[in-house]
Chains A and B, each alone.
Chain A
Amino acid sequence: MEFPILSLMLAIPLAGAIACLFLGAQAARMTALLATLVNLALGILLWVNFEIGGPQWQFVERAEIFAVFSYALGIDGIALMLIMLSVFLMPICILASWDAITKRVGEYMSAFLLMEVLMIGVFAAQDLYLFYIFFEAGLIPMYLIIGVWGGDNRIYASYKFFLYTLLGSVLMLIAMMWMVNQAGTTDIPTLLNYDFDPSAQTWLWLAFFASFAVKMPMWPVHTWLPDAHVQAPTAGSVILAGVLLKLGGYGFIRFSLPMFPEASEQFAWLVYILSMVAVIYTSLVALVQNDMKKLIAYSSVAHMAIVTVGLFAFNVQGIEGAMMVMLGHGLVSGALFLCVGVIYDRLHTREIARYGGLSINMPKYALFFLLFTMASIGLPGTSNFIGEFLALAGIYKVSTLVTLVCTTGIILGAAYMLYLYRRVAFGEQKNADAAAMPDLNAREWAMLAPIAAAVLWMGVYPESFLAPMRQDIAALEARIARAAPDFDADNVIGTPREHNANYVAAAHGEEGAH
């Protein structure tokens, strides 16, 4: 395609971001909403024009800048889906901030639009350094969003967020420099097929892992997430859970797996162990939280652990499942944070015990909240089921033990989410102020209804989302097949041994069955 649509999708929010700095509050809101809606429209255009089964990299743009560094953009199906997630959530974030943010509105909107530029940039970048710049620069607006517009303990949370994520990135930059030096190119599609020496892969993998594990976040480098979520404004949490957490998974899928397949196999056990711990540990921690946002934050860590085991299953189901969990979780946890935001805006507390019986005075809200709760639990028919099911089916081929441990997440997930829902929406209305809260207004409808529709769409007809990614994930599987770990479950499948006739005959012999 000749038309530089990806650059345009970067330019529009960037222009909006600059404009917002000089505008008054209401004008900034309108500008931000308009810019994000235009980008959403462009995103849909991108999706419609994406040729399924066509070339791997589409909408490619390239401009040499200096030395090996170039401005190179292009997307495959995986990046397309994550860009769609970003542009879909953005207008919703602007709406969520409409009334909640009253100070420095221009700067706030500007930060969000900048965030959108950087997120699209990360997914579209085809140059290693360009990727790094977008990847790391994303920290800055989020740091400001938490640090300036956050809650009471925002400074601590923003520093923690910044330190954690930056620490991992430094190692990744060093690894990138070494790689460019070795391979002589910064072009990601080229690097995807470059075979690094397996011994070097080990160190490169660990350096990338340091960065992606923090972003994911994996246990035990997850503790920045609950603080960041709790302190961030609602829209900040939505973007954090919806898109920023996906950068880690995207990193694994784009770099760690295809570039270092042998090392990925070598460290798969590490990923499995950390993920298994995360599922049990963070789910149980979520069970005892009194703060709604913290609970959902911990649940995110547990869900992301399903993503990591799926990715390191080295097969199509695992990786497609991981992608679907990322997309589904992006929608659902984002929606859950919006649900928290809706009642936070009314009562200004996130403490679960201050609510109760909201089904009575806010029935429409309770319905949406129920839908997203069930989606988070992974009820079939919602987006998260497809992802979790595929990811776990994928990992079952590799290890039944890992599958068993990770699948307990469906029990624990049901426990903490239903416990949350019960305390918020069911029971008597024991707090007069909570009982007096009005139901959803039109703006909140406009935020929640599109996500609800998307969640159901993904659950009932996920083919729309799987189809664009199919070819890329098949290519990835082919690329990493040489390093795929042995099945532990298949030591004899497919070849029936000695027919265990005695046993069957003993049970059915007397009546002469069979």
Chain B
Amino acid sequence: MHPILLIVFLPLLAAIVAGLVNKSAPSIFAKSITTGALFVSAALSWPIFLGFVGGTYEPTVVPVLKWVQSGTLTFDWALRVDTLTAVMLVVINTVSALVHLYSWGYMEEDPDQPRFFAYLSLFTFAMLMLVTADNLVQMFFGWEGVGLASYLLIGFWFKKPSANAAAIKAFVVNRVGDLGFMLGIFGTYLVFDTVSISEILAAAPGMSGASIGFLGYTVYTMDVLCILLFIGAMGKSAQLGLHTWLPDAMEGPTPVSALIHAATMVTAGVFMVVRLSPMFETAPIALGLVTFVGAATCIFAATVGTTQWDIKRVIAYSTCSQLGYMFFAAGVGAYGAAMFHLFTHAFFKALLFLGAGSVIHAMHHEQDMRYYGNLRKHIPLTFWAMMMGTLAITGVGVYHLGVGFAGFWSKDAIIEVAFARGTELGNFAFWMGVFAALLTSFYSWRLMFLTFWGKPRWIESEHIQHSVHKTPEEAGEDTTGGYHPHESPISMLVPLGVLSIGAVLAGQIFAPTFLDDAAFWGSSIFYNEPLIHAMHAVPYWVKYSALVVMLIGLLVAWLAYIKDTSIPGKTAEQLGPIYRFLYNKWYFDELYHYLFVVPAFWLGRQFWKLGDVGTIDRFGPNGVAWVVEKGAVGARKFQTGYLYSYALVMLLGLVAAITWVLF
């Protein structure tokens, strides 16, 4: 039996068992079985990945079961293992296994633990189906499966109205993207007469420059197909326009945010574009759109991230922004760099989320950074883990020394490759990327300084007040309120430690493989060798731009949040409208609410009351009934029972009959 079968189906099996047994066994049962399955899957995934790194592993497709055969539209359940899949396998299974372990501590007091762990494993299964898909429909199966798991996990605390709203929003907004994905699959099937990914990719270059009808217009075939598919990717990866669900998704438990909304599911869109890279390469307009949307998202999310107070929301916007980097990397043709950033990002972003979870755990569920401060001394291990994550995400590293944290290797590569592309959109992406790197550094250090430095501001928090049974007045001078944050249990610290190692070393070790090794990628992605050479040859000011802006961001954050803490307030006041615009996330939620949600309900009521009841029923069945009733009243008048009226009718009839016969 091929190990991929175990890797994919063990989590499913564990999810089913844990979900069905649920509370009829102690929760340790569900926890052990799901976590055990994930560690097995992770352990089996690494040899495959390292086999591809070493060049000893051959791509293969393992058939599982027939699925659908309808005319020429056929697709089966099958598991594809190639380099790209192998990268995703280690990312998914490693992070998932660590998140399972972390949840032992984080969810310890929750009464619904079996359900939680079952959902986590179910999610992992769906994600694995997505990345092992050999055809677009199975990819869509995984795509929707992770959507379901995400919906269930965001709404895990289903008593909270905000969690329910966020869950539905996530699902429905994703469905808007799915509309594009589905149309893309239909179009691809129409054009290539197959939904098998390898066959499509082989046939795509031959279709370059062809045109096709779409909604009455004649458009470039490959561009319209790729744009439709990319709309799907935009939904899942929370790109500008379809991003609104991601920050709200933070209503879910923090381990979920780390696994689904940072490391794995939200990168599915990037994965899709990279998986279909030979196809996208034949669609220059679509690639331009990918670059533009990626760059715009990267800067948009970073601006919003600088103003948020909720620690998880800052990281969520950061994720959104980093996904933008991955997309514009793909858009300019550096798919290896996009995957590399996906890989490193998975480690350091999961680390940041789990670190934030550890802070929240220590601070009695308080998530507002305004009520943190000085935690460095109280939870030092968490602090150091977060520090590694921050150094990684801000891209600390020096080119000439050849050393740096994970983000340095991947993010700088993306910025450089955008510059090296040389096109207008490439330049746009480059400048947006540099500016976003500045903001990334600022909001990341802002998060660190607010949380771990300064004076404790804990007593302002309602959660802390509940815990210590004091109001800020009663606490007086002691702004800690007498609260004692505790370092998290070992089950949470181990994943933090492992991910810290990833955040520090993942870039250093794997940069040559992901960026420069064409043989590593083989035929699993479109590998643009000249572009990579151009990337290495960019001027030094480009290579150092990211480091410089990182230092500027650090400096500004230090000035504003350590040196003189009155600066942020004053700046926000001076830049009132701009600050409010950013703080309110560019008013996307409000816009969509009035543009889509309100009209949908209004139209629904109009169609129902005025359409169905007021028109169709009124003039249809009820109208007919009315006519029949009135007609019956009229007909009754003829049957009066008076002899003379019957005689009259008879006479008239007789006259009519005679007239008919005679003439």
Interface residues of A (CB under 8 A from B): 159-160, 163-164, 220-221, 223-224, 226, 281-282, 284-289, 315-317, 320-321, 357, 359, 363, 374, 379-381, 385-386, 389-390, 392-393, 396-397, 400-401, 403-404, 407-408, 410-412, 414-415, 418-419, 422, 425-428, 460-463, 466, 470, 474, 488-501, 503-504, 506-508, 510-513
Contact = CB atoms under 8 A, between A and B. Distances in A.
Contacts of A316: 70-71, 73
Contact of A492 (B137, B179, B212, B531): B212
Contacts of A410: 175, 178-179, 182
Contact of B67 (A461, A494, A513): A461
B453 interface: no
B183 interface: yes
Interface in B523-557: 528, 530-531, 533-534
11 contacts: A223-B616, A288-B601, A422-B164, A426-B159, A488-B216, A489-B190, A492-B210, A496-B208, A500-B208, A511-B421, A513-B530
B66 A407 contact: no
B199 to A, nearest CB: 15
Interface residues of B, number: 83
A187 B543 CA distance: 81
Interface in B497-531: 528, 530-531
Contact of A374 (B68, B148, B528): B148
B622 to A, nearest CB: 9
Interface string B575-610: 000000000000000000000000011011101100
Given A287-B601, A491-B218, A504-B284, A460 B65 contact: yes
B59 interface: no
Nearest to A381: B141
Contacts of B287: 507
DSSP majority for the A interface? helix
Contacts of A381: 141, 144-145
Q: Which of B68, B171, B617 has the most CB of A within 10 A?
A: B68
Given A317-B73, A418-B168, A390 B624 contact: no
Contacts of B621: 160, 163-164, 223-224
A287 B596 CA distance: 13
Given A396-B186, A461-B65, A513-B531, A508 B608 contact: no
A91 B22 CA distance: 30
Interface in B143-190: 144-145, 148, 151, 155, 158-159, 161, 164, 167-168, 171-172, 175-176, 178-179, 182-183, 185-187, 189-190
Interface string B606-633: 0110011000110011001100000000
B68 A390 contact: yes
Contacts of A289: 608
A461 B66 contact: yes
Contacts of B620: 220-221, 223
Contacts of A422: 155, 164, 167-168
Given A284-B600, A393-B186, A321 B172 contact: no
B220 interface: yes
Contacts of B210: 492-493, 495-497
Contacts, number: 225
Q: Which of A284, A474, A501 has the most CB of B within 10 A?
A: A284
A288 B534 contact: no
Closest 7 CB pairs of A and B: A500-B209, A316-B71, A396-B186, A284-B604, A380-B141, A288-B604, A426-B158
A163 B284 CA distance: 58
Given A288-B608, A427-B161, A513-B528, 18 more contacts: A223-B621, A281-B611, A289-B608, A317-B73, A374-B148, A392-B186, A393-B186, A396-B187, A412-B600, A414-B171, A422-B167, A426-B159, A460-B65, A462-B67, A463-B67, A489-B190, A510-B421, A511-B531
A496 B167 CA distance: 44
Interface in B282-297: 282, 284-285, 287-288
Contacts of B216: 401, 488
B140 interface: yes
B237 interface: no
